[in-house]
Amino acid sequence: MKAADTAWRHTLAKKPPAVTAPAAPVRLGVRKTYKLFIGGKFPRSESGRTYLVNGDNVALASRKDARDAVVAARAAQPKWAGATAYNRGQVLYRIAEMLESRRDEFAAQGVPVAEVEAAVDRWVWYAGWADKIAQVHGGANPVAGPFFNISAPEPTGVVAVVAPASFLGLVSVIAPAIVTGNTVVVLAAGPQAAVTLAEVIATSDVPGGVVNILTGNAAETAPWLASHDDVNAIDLAGVTDLELATELERAAAGNLKRVLRPGDPENDFTADPGLKPMVALLETKTVWHPKGF
Amino acid sequence: MTATLDLRASLHGLPGVDKVGVEARAAALATRSVKTTAKAAAIDLAIRMVDLTTLEGADTPGKVRALAAKALRPDPADPTCPHVGAVCVYPAMVPYVAEVLAGSGVHLASVATAFPSGQAPLDVKLADTRDAVAAGADEIDMVISRGAFLAGRYDHVFEEIVAVKEACGDAHLKVILETGELATYDNVRRASWLAMLAGADFIKTSTGKVPVAATLPVTLVMLEAVRDFRARTGRQVGVKPAGGIKTTKDAIKYLVMINETVGDDWLDPAWFRFGASSLLNDLLMQRTKLTTGHYAGPDYFTLD
Amino acid sequence: MFEYAPAPESRSVVDIAPSYGLFINGTFEAPGSTGGVFKTVNPATEEVLAEVSAAGSEDVDRAVAAARSAFGPWSALPGAERAKYLFRIARIIQERSRELAVLESLDNGKPIKESRDVDLPLVAAHFFYYAGWADKLEYAGFGASPRPIGVAAQVIPWNFPLLMLAWKIAPALATGNTVVLKPAETTPLTALFFADICRQADLPPGVVNIITGAGETGRTLVEHPGVDKVAFTGSTEVGRQIARSVAGTGKRLTLELGGKAANIVFDDAPIDQAVEGIVNGIFFNQGHVCCAGSRLLVQESAYDEVMESLKRRMATLRLGDPLDKNTDIGAINSAEQLERIRVLTDAGSQEGAERWSPPCELPAQGFWFAPTIFTGVTQAHRIAREEIFGPVLSVLTFRTPAEAIEKANNTPYGLSAGIWSEKGSLILAVADKLRAGVIWANTFNKFDPTSPFGGYKESGYGREGGRHGLEAYLG
């Protein structure tokens, strides 16, 4: 019922029927404004710029928006990382629930239903990893001495993400980053779906600042994130221009960011992602303590 | 009651001892290499620090007289060999040793206070002490009541030490902590402070009658205690590891530890002793090796 | 004070040749190469130990080509066979450990008791540990059929020459990669002796290639297009250059870089052991340790006690002949490093920190620096921010756990940290909040082949040691 309404609204918003003399007044749809998602709020670009995507004016993020997003991500990071893994898992599962209920809205934006469903399932998959990754990727080390010694994964910190174009790709780069306690600044490719995902996230108990989504031109904003000294890692999954990728990787060397290089352009996001997307954004902390009385 | 609280607060307010850390430090000091002239000096110092001990049910006047004679002239073949620090015997043997040592400068120590268990009423312990002093002992090695200490009855232990110290008169009081029964380094540190606060002139590790006697890390904790106690109160207290120190190599490890923990002030028989019996002959053999240039054999040294 | 007589370890166990060529494809080439030659000296005496070849770009080409042709057969060997080569190497190292320890002390300047009791046992243990992984990689958690990457270019520093070689070569070989390794310019000798051990072990030619040279050789190697994987340990500045140079090449990269570790002493610490930990933290290996506890953070309520105890302890440190078994502090590795330490310590004095060293006579020949502490240091001082890589400790204070954590994390580095307290919950809470890859609580500078080592932030990325250390060498 609700889904049908949503689909109708979009159809109306996208393709207003040709104006003929109506027999009865047709209700005028309320259109959505596609804004940025920073610190849990939906601001316009500070630059005041928008660009047209399929007839919609979408906020065109500037370097200052990227800067603000990093501030928001940094501010949110310690508390998000400090939340219990169980809690983070619950929050990710809540995202899956919200996404499921809005499947048709994404479909109306042109995301195939199967892809939206795969994205829901991906959130569920990662939700379950929240309280397991430390057991799989960490553990006790049997050192040759009277010491307690344990290695545990910790989030890298603030991660900049140049997202792939597909919706499943977008979810597949955000989820593994945040499930372990990182916060992200995402440069999104498919802007309407990305902003709608931001709305899903904003209504899923995700603390403000954990996910920040910027729409616009990644080639313009990504270099600012790649060279930003308060960003700990950069995922270049969505960079298709190899020259730009090299430039970003070089800029990322400034503060020794962890760099996830662009994947295969044919990257099949439907495949089992394995541990790599999570592990690449984890640090291993090893703690020693003597044993004795 | 208040006193208990104060003692408990003081002893438990001391910095903790990390077992792995203190053992690693002791092991590191034990790797020091002491050779040639340094070794010769260390051997003579160690001989002067020996409390030549016999504490057997089978001790007789003849046996302890022989021991006392050896204490005076450890190496009859070499007049340059120094005498030991003291002879240590049971109270009943004190008179026989006193005859031999009179006027020699070698001290006469006696274990009192129901050695080695300490499980006797206080008046018996005090009588034991007074008798030993009266018979000629100028150093008394007492044992603390480990049971009372482990039960947290610090006042009881404190008061016993105070009473024995008083019974000692002019004799020096060495307080045996029996560290092998105290179980933790934290307890060794607390017992050291308890003994020093109660008036001990020396703190001593062990009776030699329980399976674990002196060790390097226990002695290190005790050296740190006397160092810190002097810094706090101005009073210097001596340290005596006893039991299990059998070789020159062992003895030198202790001297190195003194050297690098508390320094010169304790590198003196007045402030550091080894409670030992077989150690002396090994020191003598090593001393002979250094002077003659060849290895010595046990048949060339007297058996006690 | 009771003086220990000199107790020098015998040099006669080592036979150093007057000159060395490069080790490529299983053979020592004739000395001299396209990059010329250079001398390696004993930093304690400035005596020339040997003349060593500097690999030029053609030499690097040959070394990479040798590693490339060895890669196929080596990676195709059953893991159990690769394991046996590594076990064999571990055993030869154990048998030759005295020789290697003396050589390491001669070339590096580190005290023999450290090369003998720390470096060499860890080197053998590292090969032993990774040997056992070679036939168990499918159980390591990196997929069902993990594959090697190819040819690894490895560039290592001069502070733990043979140990860093072990950290690089053992996991690379266990996983089926082949290597071209460049030891540091000032400490090439133990790597060349290791080449001989590879021969002694009958390791197939080309699996391990050792090329000597300075920074230029390292750059040529790292930038060589025939290389699939780069592993570097050294300064953050060089690490940054390498990260830039591999950008866009697809080469896999791990970096183990600098540090400015906080060693945090709370007022309920086991003080005597904490002081040992402070001393070990900064004076071990002359402070030439990337994870050195170079910033001491002391709770104000324990400051006097800790400082008094620390100064007393420092006065017992014995500086001098690295081959003397009783030496605690050896020589600074090079004139260049000594100059860097001087520049930074001079800056410490000029910026108003108070400098103290125990009475300490420095030998007339060689490169020496007395153990030094600076008190009254603030976060803004250069000596609190820059890695000195020498026996120099900056002392700062704090009042609360939150302040300690904030100060400890207030650095671009994140390699290691120390915590001293007898309160378990405090230790665990602070350890959780410190942004560093290795946290030593109530201990410091402990290493083990099973224990992953590596940094956060500008201290680099990737881990060496343990199961985690395999990841850097698997595709």
- Average pLDDT of the residues of chain C: 97
Q: Which residues of A209-228 are buried (b: 16+ CB within 10 A; e: fewer)?
A: bbbbbbbbebeebbbbbbbb
- Which sign does the torsion angle of CA C109, C114, C119, C120 carry? positive
Q: Which CATH code of 3.40.830.10, 3.40.718.10, 3.90.76.10, 3.40.309.10 fits the domain covering C262-441?
A: 3.40.309.10
Chain A residues with CB-CB distance to C472 below 8 A? none
Domain boundaries, chain C: 11-257+457-473, 262-441
Whether residue B184 and residue A291 make contact (CB cut-off 8 A), yes or no, is no
pTM of this structure: 0.95
pLDDT of residue B5: 65
Q: Using CA atoms, how far apart are residues C91 and C128, in angstroms rounded to an integer? A: 8
The verdict on residue A28 lying in a domain is no
Would you state the structure tokens that stand for residue B24, as one six-digit string?
């690693």
Q: Using CA atoms, how far apart are residues C125 and C128, in angstroms rounded to an integer? A: 5
CATH (domain of B226): 3.20.20.70
* Domain of residue B67, residue span: 2-292
CATH (domain of A83): 3.40.605.10
The verdict on residue A229 lying in a domain is yes
B123 in active site? no
Would you state the structure tokens that stand for residue C258, as one six-digit string?
């600098």
- Indicate the number of domains in chain A: 1
Q: Using one digit for the tens of pLDDT, what is the confidence trace for C3-40? A: 899 999 999 999 999 999 999 999 999 987 788 999 99
H or E segment and range at residue C306: helix C303-314
The verdict on residue B254 lying in a domain is yes
The verdict on residue B50 lying in a domain is yes
Q: Using one digit for the tens of pLDDT, what is the confidence trace for C129-150? A: 999 999 999 999 998 899 999 9
Whether residue B19 and residue A147 make contact (CB cut-off 8 A), yes or no, is no
On whether any CB of chain B is under 8 Å from the CB of A17, the answer is no
- The three-state secondary structure class of C186 is coil
Architecture, CATH, for domain C11-257+457-473:
3-Layer(aba) Sandwich (3.40)
The verdict on residue B303 lying in a domain is no
Could you say which of C29, C104, C256, C387 is catalytic?
A: C256
B174 in active site? no
DSSP string for C76-134: HS-HHHHHHHHHHHHHHHHHTHHHHHHHHHHHH---HHHIIIIIHHHHHHHHHHHHHHT
- Indicate the number of domains in chain B: 1
Note the maximum CA span of chain A: 92
- Nearest chain B residue to A148 by CA: give it: B20
Which residues are registered as beta bridge partners of B274? B50
Would you state the structure tokens that stand for residue C404, as one six-digit string?
């300690």
Could you say which of B51, B128, B138, B141 is catalytic?
A: B141
Pick among C240, C422, C428, C448 to test the A interface (most A CBs inside 10 A): C448
Strands A233-235 and B50-53: unpaired
The verdict on residue A83 lying in a domain is yes
State the burial class of residue A108 (Cβ atoms within 10 Å of its Cβ: 0-12, 13-18, 19+): buried
Would you state the structure tokens that stand for residue B158, as one six-digit string?
């404190």
On whether any CB of chain A is under 8 Å from the CB of C453, the answer is yes
- Nearest chain A residue to C437 by CA: give it: A285
Q: Using CA atoms, how far apart are residues C180 and C162, in angstroms rounded to an integer? A: 15
- The three-state secondary structure class of B179 is helix
Q: What is the pLDDT along chain C (475 residues), one digit of tens a residue?
A: 588 999 999 999 999 999 999 999 999 999 877 889 999 999 999 999 999 999 999 999 999 999 999 999 999 999 999 999 999 999 999 999 999 999 999 999 999 999 999 999 999 999 999 999 999 999 999 988 999 999 999 999 999 999 999 999 999 999 999 999 999 999 999 999 999 999 999 999 999 999 999 999 999 999 999 999 999 999 999 999 999 999 999 999 999 999 999 999 999 999 999 999 999 999 999 999 999 999 999 999 999 999 999 999 999 999 999 999 999 999 999 999 999 999 999 999 999 999 999 999 999 999 999 999 999 999 999 999 999 999 999 999 999 999 999 999 999 999 999 999 999 999 999 999 999 999 999 999 999 999 999 999 999 999 999 999 999 999 8
The alpha-carbon gap from C10 to the nearest alpha carbon of chain B, in Å, equals 14
Cβ-contact A214, A189 below 8 angstroms? no
CA A190 to chain centre: 12
The verdict on residue A17 lying in a domain is no
- 3-state secondary structure labels for all residues of chain A: CHHHHHHHHHHHHHCCCCCCCCCCCCCCCCCCCECCEECCECCCCCCCCEEEECCEEEECCCHHHHHHHHHHHHHHHHHHHHCCHHHHHHHHHHHHHHHHHCHHHHHHCCCCHHHHHHHHHHHHHHHHHCCCHHHHHCEECCCCCCEEEEEEEEECCEEEEECCCCHHHHHHHHHHHHHCCCEEEEECCCHHHHHHHHHHHHCCCCCCCCEEEECCCHHHHHHHHHCCCCCCEEECCCCCCHHHHHHHHHHHHHHCCEEECCCCCCCCCCCCCCCHHHHCCEEEEEEEEECCC
On whether any CB of chain A is under 8 Å from the CB of B184, the answer is yes
The verdict on residue B107 lying in a domain is yes
Q: Using one digit for the tens of pLDDT, what is the confidence trace for C265-286? A: 999 999 999 999 999 999 999 9
Cβ-contact A163, A186 below 8 angstroms? yes
The alpha-carbon gap from B177 to the nearest alpha carbon of chain A, in Å, equals 18
H or E segment and range at residue C275: helix C271-283
